[in-house]
Amino acid sequence: MSASKFGVAVIGLHMGQAHFLAALDHPQAELVAVCDLDADLTSSTQARYNVPVGTTDWTELIDRPDIQIASICAPDWLHREMTCAFLDAGKHVMVEKPMAHTVEDCEAMVEAARRNNRKLMVAHVCRFYSFFEDAKRWSQDGTLGEVYYVETSYLHNYEQIGGVGNWRFDAEKRHPLVGGGCHAIDLARWICGDAEEVHAYGNHYNIPVQQWEDMITVNVKFQNGAIGRILNSSGCQRPYNIDLQIWGTKGTLQGDNTQDTALLSLREIDRHQWMRVPKPTMAKAVASELGHFIDCVVTDQTPLIDGVDGAKTVALAWAAIESIRTGQPVKCRNEF
């Protein structure tokens, strides 16, 4: 491996496929190892992409000197153990969303990154989708004025995607608002900043095997005065999408990750009309995500979604789950 390249290991080869393809494409990355409990998947991936190391045991990779970056794409409940072990071995870690299944897990991961002075990034891929990047910019550069309301949705029927061994239907390992809804929570937090309080409702009509609510709506009060609503359905009888609406004093933007246009209305032009804004697909988002992480390692910058940011998203989700249980508004934790 050339000295200017970072050795990358990818653990978990389903979502991990997008990560190892991004590593193969990146000029400063060298895909050193792939790992999955599924021995056939590991060996076929290793052979097809000519990867030096293939293993079913991720702990074999921890101390390898030719690995500098671990990309953790195993199921949610494994993120803490794997992330902390790689950080403690001096590696930088990019971990798939959600950062972890529980707030306590996130706490441990933030602490491991701090004590080892290593980069930790949570792969909230929506932040690398160019339309959502535009939306973020327009919410900050005055185009939309002052943002006073945000609406985000993560709508995805999980009936057929329990994951290997159906881990997504195990209440101890996955909560739909934490594991999937984190996309919508992260987007809302990215636009409006830290949340102060949430009040949520949920019900359960569609996926009996899933032990949590499969429809959840969360009202949010942000610290900056904006308010919002986050919607998460894992049982919806409708197409998948991640939707974002930003309401500002000068205009309103509405778009998602699946349509080829978004809607924009600006007071200065005509607030009674929607303009159609063309937009690309999300195809290159994972590559941009890995590129950003490598840049952060090279230039010693904090990643766009560091451990603290990822932890706040998980904490908001659990505050909403607590609100569903108690029927009361719940304060959000923002200190990690």
Ligand X SMILES: NC(=O)c1ccc[n+]([C@@H]2O[C@H](COP(=O)([O-])OP(=O)(O)OC[C@H]3O[C@@H](n4cnc5c(N)ncnc54)[C@H](O)[C@@H]3O)[C@@H](O)[C@H]2O)c1
| Interacting residue ranges for ligand X, rule: CB under 6 A | 11-15, 35-38, 41, 58, 73-76, 78, 96-97, 123, 125, 163-164, 167, 179
Whole-number Å distance between alpha carbons of 208 and 158: 11
We find the least distance from the C-beta atom of residue 198 to ligand X, in angstroms, to be: 21
We find the least distance from the C-beta atom of residue 75 to ligand X, in angstroms, to be: 5
H-run or E-run covering 269? none
Whole-number Å distance between alpha carbons of 158 and 54: 30
Count other Cβ atoms within 10 Å, centred on residue 21: 16
Residue 74 or 314 having the CB closest to ligand X? 74
Tell which residue, 213, 202, 178, 199, has the closest CA to residue 310.
178
Whole-number Å distance between alpha carbons of 246 and 273: 16
Residue 106 or 123 having the CB closest to ligand X? 123
Residue 14 or 64 having the CB closest to ligand X? 14
We find the least distance from the C-beta atom of residue 121 to ligand X, in angstroms, to be: 12
Residue 125 or 290 having the CB closest to ligand X? 125
Whole-number Å distance between alpha carbons of 80 and 108: 7
Sign of CA dihedral 100, 105, 110, 112: negative
CA 157 to chain centroid, in Å, comes to 18
Sign of CA dihedral 243, 103, 215, 239: positive
Count other Cβ atoms within 10 Å, centred on residue 159: 16
Residue 181 or 248 having the CB closest to ligand X? 181
We find the least distance from the C-beta atom of residue 62 to ligand X, in angstroms, to be: 12
We find the least distance from the C-beta atom of residue 23 to ligand X, in angstroms, to be: 15
Q: Which two tokens stand for residue 54?
A: 């293939």
Place of tokens 């949430």: 198
Residue 144 or 282 having the CB closest to ligand X? 282
We find the least distance from the C-beta atom of residue 37 to ligand X, in angstroms, to be: 4
